[in-house]
């Protein structure tokens, strides 16, 4: 098990291996995404947060996942095209991952261990679960799919104001 988010790697949506070390010192909002979900319009708000706070040291990291209702059936290229054409996404997209079960991606294993869900549950219940990570790599909070990203502005502001 990794000690911090920075010791992990993930494959980008275009197939490159990415060290999450490159995000050290940034506030992160890590989200499991799906393009055919009732929450898919949250892409607009996630992109708005990226545009508003990106220059201040904030990054949205999107991880597509097909584990909930088969709502992310596309290939990585199809997902990238969908996000670009429909939501003008410029935040970092990663390759499709699993967030629960024996093939859980290490990023989500770390996030789930650090911040439990409703009633102490570790598993992710649906698409668009969000994890806020501070500049030092510590998980600040976990937010349900129903939490609109716009409602995270004050938590993001607070995390940005704190030094690493």
Q: Is the pLDDT of residue 2 over 60?
A: no
The Cα–Cα gap between 37 and 74 comes to 13
**Per-residue pLDDT tens over the stretch 32-66:** 999 999 888 899 999 999 999 999 999 999 999 99
* Domain chopping of the chain, boundaries: 11-161
* CATH top class, domain 11-161: alpha beta
CA angle at 136 for the pair 156 and 138, rounded to the nearest 5°: 75
Q: Could you say which DSSP state residue 146 is in?
A: T
DSSP-assigned beta bridge partners for residue 19: 9
Half-sphere exposure of 111 (CA within 13 A, CB side): 28
Q: Is 37 a catalytic residue?
A: yes
**pLDDT for residue 63:** 97
**Active-site residue (options: 10, 30, 34, 37):** 37
The Cα–Cα gap between 24 and 22 comes to 6
**pLDDT for residue 163:** 63
**pLDDT for residue 59:** 98
Here the tokens at position 45 are 């708000």
**Per-residue pLDDT tens over the stretch 64-121:** 999 998 988 889 999 998 988 899 999 999 999 999 999 999 999 999 987 665 555 6
Give 1's pLDDT tier (boundaries 50, 70, 90): very low
The closest alpha carbon to 149, from 66, 58, 86, belongs to: 58
**pLDDT for residue 162:** 86
Q: What is the mean pLDDT of the chain?
A: 91
At a CB cut-off of 8 Å and minimum separation 6, what does 126 contact? 37, 39, 68, 145
Burial (Cβ within 10 Å: 0-12, 13-18, ≥19) of residue 29? buried
């Amino acid at each position: 098990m990794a000690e911090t988010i920075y010791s992990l790697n993930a494959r980008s949506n275009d197939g490159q291996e990415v060290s999450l070390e490159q995000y050290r010192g940034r506030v992160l909002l890590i989200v499991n995404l799906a393009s055919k979900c009732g929450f898919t319009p949250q892409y607009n708000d996630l992109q708005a947060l990226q545009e508003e706070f990106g220059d201040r040291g904030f990054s949205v990291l999107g991880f597509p996942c097909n584990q909930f209702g088969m709502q992310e059936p596309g290939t990585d290229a199809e997902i990238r095209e969908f996000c670009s054409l429909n939501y003008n996404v410029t935040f970092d997209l990663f390759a499709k991952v699993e967030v629960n079960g024996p093939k859980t991606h290490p990023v989500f294993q770390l996030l789930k261990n650090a911040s439990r869900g409703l009633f102490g549950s570790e598993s992710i219940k649906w698409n668009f679960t969000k994890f806020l990570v501070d500049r030092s790599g510590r998980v600040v909070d976990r937010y349900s799919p129903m939490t609109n990203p716009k409602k995270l502005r004050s938590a993001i502001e607070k995390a940005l104001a704190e030094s690493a």
